[in-house]
Amino acid sequence: EVDPNVEKDEMPNVEGMDSFLSELANAIPGIDEAMSFAEML
């Protein structure tokens, strides 16, 4: 699994959007996995 906080540190250029996604990741189980998959594409 990918920790949303790690993604946030790796992508400082999109802090606003990523912090929003990080909140979603904390709210919805599994969304962080979906985002990490989307980032690999």
Give pLDDT, residue 33.
76
Tell me: the pLDDT tens digits for 1-41?
A: 555 555 555 555 555 667 777 776 666 667 677 777 887 77
Question: What per-residue confidence (pLDDT) applies to 5?
Answer: 55
Closest CA to 22 of 1, 3, 39: 3
State the pLDDT at residue 19.
Answer: 75
DSSP string, 1-41: ---HHHHHHH-GGGHHHHHHHHHHHHHSTTHHHHHHHHHH-
Domain limits, the chain: 4-40
Separation CA 15–CA 41 (nearest Å): 20
How far apart CA 41 and CA 37 sit, in angstroms, is 7
